Amino acid sequence: MTPHAQQAAVTCTVCPHECRLAPGAVGRCRARGWQDGASAPLSYGRVTSLAMDPVEKKPLARWKPGGLVLSAGSYGCNLRCPFCQNHTIAQVGADEVAWRSIAPEELVALAAEARMRNPRVVGIAHTYNEPLVCWEYVRDVGVLAHEAGLANVLVSNGCVQPWVADELAPLVDAANIDLKGFTDEYYRWCGGNLQAVCACIERLCAEPGCHVEVTCLIVPERNDDPAQMRALAGWLAQVSTDITLHVTRYFPRWKMEGGYPTPVRTVYELAEVAREVLPHVVVGNC
Ligand code: SF4
Ligand code: SF4
């Protein structure tokens, strides 16, 4: 590559935002940025949160019940959900949060050691912030985890271009993908793209070894219309009736502080709507 080319701006193709990255610039997600003429995962190996969690907390309702996963998160996200529960790590950049470097080898070794102490440990989860903006770390950990006999769990907003899902699908054993709503308007409010998320869910479901669950957080007066849930569940059922749908209660956070939580009754009523077409529907946070 010529010095001139190394100084040229580049378009990141990881997600539908397609950020134009000038030399030295950081993308909208704050996890990627320009480096040597390419879109680089600047947050690679930078871990802000590390905890051993039950798989049920991811949430995964129908995959290795009773299992534990070493759950790692970094910083950054390509969406801007006004209700983000994890905004202290998801809506900040490298300079605004404490992190430590954990190479893929070290993360897998930590999980393998934990499994020796407790056989309930089944794998590693990428979660807390948005893992796919640094998909390379998910890939590199995933390869090593499989070599060590550990499973890979992905908890994501699913808002990436299809090639990213193609790269990772063979490495993912279980995923919980947010399907935040089922209208373009709702996804615009969250700063995402409904079609990209749907394509990601379809791709993971097409992978024979990948167990897929989906979460829909119900925000009062935003996505609590039964017709929207009927359309969302109907689309999921057409992809696969094996998908577990989590219909989840919301509590006001971040820019929504001061609002009111979803009435429990609304969550149960929308779960009933989803059960008209999906056999596996659970409520969360109630
Ligand atoms: S992954 Fe980040 S840098 Fe790349 S297009 Fe999406 S928001 Fe922009
Ligand atoms: S996708 Fe998740 S992490 Fe990102 S802004 Fe929305 S709620 Fe926060």
Over the stretch 49-77, which tens digit does the pLDDT of each residue have?
999 999 999 999 999 999 999 999 999 99
Tell me which residue of 51, 52, 59, 50 sits closest to 286, measured CA to CA: 59
Q: What is the pLDDT of residue 213?
A: 98
Is the predicted pLDDT of residue 3 greater than 70, yes or no? no
The answer to whether position 32 is within a domain reads no
Over the stretch 201-249, which tens digit does the pLDDT of each residue have?
999 999 999 999 999 999 999 999 999 999 999 999 999 999 999 999 9
pLDDT band at 5 (very low <50, low <70, confident <90, very high): low
Residue that is written with structure tokens 């057409």 in the block: 238
Mean pLDDT of 107-121: 98
Tell me which residue of 255, 51, 39 sits closest to 133, measured CA to CA: 39
| Cβ contacts of 185 within 8 Å, gap of 6 or more | none
Is the predicted pLDDT of residue 43 greater than 80, yes or no? yes
Q: What is the pLDDT of residue 78?
A: 98
Q: What is the pLDDT of residue 100?
A: 98
Mean pLDDT of 254-267: 96
Q: How far apart are CA 147 and CA 221, in angstroms?
A: 47
The secondary structure of residue 35, as a DSSP letter, is E
The answer to whether position 24 is within a domain reads no
Average pLDDT, the chain: 97
Q: What is the pLDDT of residue 12?
A: 98
Rg over CA atoms, the chain? 19
Residue 229 sits in a domain whose CATH number is 3.20.20.70
Query: Is the beta carbon of 185 within 6 A of some atom in ligand 1?
Result: no
Residue 262 CB: number of other CB atoms within 10 A?
Answer: 25
Taking the CA of residue 78 as reference, the ligand 1 atom at the shortest distance is: 7
Share of the chain above pLDDT 70, in %: 98
Are the beta carbons of 219 and 255 closer than 8 angstroms? no
Ligand 2 centroid vs 268 CA: distance in angstroms? 23
The answer to whether position 11 is within a domain reads no
Mean pLDDT of 19-44: 97
Residue that is written with structure tokens 């009111």 in the block: 260
Report the predicted TM-score, pTM, of the whole model to 2 decimal places: 0.97
Query: Is the beta carbon of 130 within 6 A of some atom in ligand 2?
Result: yes
Is the predicted pLDDT of residue 4 greater than 50, yes or no? no
Is the predicted pLDDT of residue 31 greater than 80, yes or no? yes
The answer to whether position 1 is within a domain reads no
The domain tally of the chain equals 1
Mean pLDDT of 132-161: 98
Pocket test for ligand 1, best of 12, 77, 80, 159 (most atoms within 8 A of CB): 12
Please name the residue whose Cα sits nearest to atom 8 of ligand 2. 84
Is the predicted pLDDT of residue 108 greater than 50, yes or no? yes
Closest ligand by atom to 42 CA: 1
The secondary structure of residue 136, as a DSSP letter, is H
pLDDT band at 150 (very low <50, low <70, confident <90, very high): very high
Beta strand 174-178 with 151-156 is: parallel
Ligand 1 centroid vs 18 CA: distance in angstroms? 6
Ligand 2 centroid vs 104 CA: distance in angstroms? 24
Instruction: Please name the residue ranges forming H helices in 84-183.
Output: 87-90, 104-117, 135-147, 162-168
Taking the CA of residue 80 as reference, the ligand 2 atom at the shortest distance is: 5
Is the predicted pLDDT of residue 93 greater than 50, yes or no? yes
The answer to whether position 113 is within a domain reads yes
Ligand 2 centroid vs 28 CA: distance in angstroms? 13
Residue 77 sits in which domain range?
A: 43-284
The answer to whether position 82 is within a domain reads yes
Residue 84 CB: number of other CB atoms within 10 A?
Answer: 19
Q: What is the pLDDT of residue 125?
A: 98
Residue that is written with structure tokens 């010095």 in the block: 3
Pocket test for ligand 2, best of 81, 194, 250 (most atoms within 8 A of CB): 81
Mean pLDDT of 6-31: 95
Please name the residue whose Cα sits nearest to atom 7 of ligand 2. 84
The answer to whether position 209 is within a domain reads yes
Residue 3 CB: number of other CB atoms within 10 A?
Answer: 7
115 three-class SS = helix
Is the predicted pLDDT of residue 147 greater than 80, yes or no? yes
Q: What is the pLDDT of residue 6?
A: 57
Is the predicted pLDDT of residue 170 greater than 60, yes or no? yes
| Cβ contacts of 257 within 8 Å, gap of 6 or more | none
